[in-house]
Structures are given as structure tokens and as C-alpha cells.
Structure 1
Amino acid sequence: MKPFIKLSAVFLFVLIFSAQATAAAPQWELDPAHSGIYFGIDHIYSTVRGYFEGFKGTVMFSPDDLAGSRFDFEVDVKSINTGNTKRDGHLNSADFFDSKQFPTMSFKSTAVKHVKDNQYLVEGKMTVKDVSEAVSVPFTFFGVKVHPFDDKSEVAGFEASMTIDRLAYHVGGGKYFDMGVVGKEVDVLISLEVTRKK
């Protein structure tokens, strides 16, 4: 084989291998009407529950290509809804989220790992206010099936849960926790329904 042909063959092999190595898992579109970011926090003897109405994200996932899978999200802090306008306003104030200065929260994944069965773990960096921390979030992958309303699309589902120390992210200075009014641990539930064309 001539040197030029050998070189071309090697170059072609490297190109193909590189493309395979960097190929991303399929991208899914969030179904906002059937997805949500919910939370619950203690208030004296009760639990206050709420959710964020505004969020967007990139979901790229395949059980067969975890290296190319990722979950990135951005949440609009002002969209917090606990069913009480006065309380929501207080949560947006400098006492808690200070949404004027920090209008968004974000999560950027760095790795997706399989634990067992349909249980996975996504590692990444979560940023709330002026704090960014590495976190590991366990999640369940419910599977993929043909969308009942569109046989040209597939639908997949995920659910993740975690507990966050809000004080570690400067969401509140601790005054209300010290008073025994508002807890410091926040239980978070993320429910996602995503779709893509077949």
C-alpha cells in the first residue's frame, strides 16, 4: 500500500473513532405541562410545599450511552409558587433567594452513572445564589415507549429526589431556623416527562 493511501486510511479511522467517541446520546424535549420541580420545607409543625413554574433544560440520555448523556437545568427563581403571594414575595426578597440579584439557579451535569436496574446517578455542579457545589443526584429512569398520542414520537420519564441544606447556599441567614420557624433542609422532587421524534 502506498504511503499516501496508508496515511489516508489511518486518518479516516481516527475520524470515525473520534466521531463515535464524542457522539452524544439522543436529545429529548421537556414536556413542561407534565414536568415539575417541587419542594417541601418544615414550618414549625407543618410542611410548606411549592414548586417553580419557570424552568428550562437540556436532556440527553440513553442507557447505552451514559458518556454522552447529560442533564442541564436553569430555574427562574421568581417563578416560585407556594400558593401564598405574600410568602412568595418574602422568599424572593434578600431574606431568602434575593431573586433581583440572583434571578436563576442552575445545575450542570458532569457525569451520568448506572447504579442498578433502573436506578442512576447524575453528578454535577449546582449553583444557587453565590454558591456552586458539586452534588450527586440519584434518579429513576422509567423507560421509553411510543407516545400514546403520537405514534411518530417516543416518550420517556425520570424522577429524582434530594435533600438540600438551604443555609449552605445562603438561602436565608439562619434567623428563622434559630427561631424554630423555618427548617434548613429542603426536600426536592424533580419529575420529568420528555419526548422526541422517532
Structure 2
Amino acid sequence: MRSYRWRPAVGAAAAVALLAGGAAHAQLDAAKSTIVAVSRQMNVPVQGSFTKFDAQIDFDPGKPAGGTAKITVDTASYDLGDQTYNDSVRGPEWFDAKSFPQATFVSTAIAPTGTNQYSVSGKLTIKGHTQTVAVPVVLTQQGGTQTFDGTLPIHRLAFEIGTGEWKDTSIVADEVLIKFHIVVAHK
């Protein structure tokens, strides 16, 4: 008998796609930053969060093309709010955290799309599978702090997240939304 409480369809993670960061390697404010993944299990939204991640960001809004971002997510840190589900998500059918302890996003291009809005293209790698993605990012700047917000839709099966009996997209949808709120401060 299988439990139908959402299993991180989240290939995501990491994905997280992110972003664009702060001008001279800004410092991540982990306490204010979040990366969550939202999937649908039996058509009901289920959200989990990654509790351990790092971001190396260099971004000057005056020179967006020169910006870079690298986000590294600890796949074993995915938290669904229940230890049994968290343990399952770390297993081989989902994140396989023992074999693939990290998911990464590395930017390849950043382009402005509007006032304080950017498209950040890059390579998202989860569970050893790499996909080219582009994520819309909104920048809010206050003093020496930059905040990057965005949502990246991904397809979990492209990353082999949810294999075996969990490949059935009528139970856990293929699309997963990676939502991020990344706060960085300039030194």
C-alpha cells in the first residue's frame, strides 16, 4: 500500500532557479531566504521547503549581462513537515540524496525584461540530469540588500524525480513549481 501524501515531485529544488545576485559576491541571508517546491498530489497542492542551500551571487542592475548566480541545494534538506515523508523523499525513487546530495543552478545569461525584472537562463542539475531553464526574476533593492523573487516551473520526470510507481502523473503531477525568495547583502 502506498501513501499518497505528496512525495516531492520537486525536482526542483534547486532549481531554484535562480537568480541574479549582488554586486561583489553578496552574502546570502539564509534566515530571510526560502526555496520551496509545490507539486500536486491527487490534484491537491503540496508544498515542501529546502532548509539548507547556498547562493553565490554577483549582480549589478546597471550591468545585468555581467551578473552570475550559482545556487546549491542540499537535497536531503527537503522538508514536507513529516519525518516519514522526509525519509521517503531522500530515497532512490525521489531525490536519491545519498547518490545525489546536491542540486544546482548555474546561470549562463541574465537579461533585463522590464523595470527590476530579469530573465535568468542557466543549467539546472538534479539527480544527475541537467536541463537548460530560464526563470523570470523580480529584484527589490533596499540599501545594500537585494531580494530576488521568482517561480520556475519544471517537470520532475525530466530529472527522474518520482520513479517506479511514482511515475504515474495521475497521482503526483509532473509539473512542479520552484518558488524562491533570496535575500543577499553586500559586504
Query: Partners in 2 of 1:179 and 1:166 — Cα distance?
Result: 10
Kept after mapping to 2: 8 A contact 1:167/1:174: no
Counterpart of 1:40 in 2: which secondary structure? strand
Query: Partners in 1 of 2:168 and 2:160 — Cα distance?
Result: 15
1:175 Cα deviation from its structure 2 partner: 2.8
1:172 equivalenced with 2:172 (yes/no): no
Listed as ranges, the gaps of 5+ residues in structure 2 are 1-21
TM-score by structure 2 length? 0.84
Return the index of the structure with the highest Cα Rg.
Answer: 1
In the other structure, the counterpart of 2:86 is 88
Counterpart of 2:162 in 1: which secondary structure? coil
In the other structure, the counterpart of 2:180 is 190
Mean CA deviation greater in 39-48 or 114-123: 39-48
What pairs with 1:137-152 in structure 2 (closer than 5 Å)? 137-145=135-143
In the other structure, the counterpart of 2:111 is 113
Query: Partners in 1 of 2:169 and 2:147 — Cα distance?
Result: 40
TM-score by structure 1 length? 0.79
Query: Partners in 2 of 1:67 and 1:124 — Cα distance?
Result: 13
Which is richer in strand?
A: 1
Query: Partners in 1 of 2:62 and 2:29 — Cα distance?
Result: 23
Q: RMSD across aligned C-alpha pairs, in angstroms?
A: 1.6
Percent of aligned pairs sharing the same letter = 31
The one-letter code of the counterpart of 1:130 is G
Mean CA deviation greater in 173-182 or 69-78: 173-182
Higher relative contact order (CA 8 A, sep 6+): 2
1:63 Cα deviation from its structure 2 partner: 1.0
1:162 Cα deviation from its structure 2 partner: 1.0
Listed as ranges, the gaps of 5+ residues in structure 1 are 1-23, 146-153
* Residue 156 of structure 1, aligned match among 140, 143, 146: 146
Query: Partners in 2 of 1:179 and 1:127 — Cα distance?
Result: 21
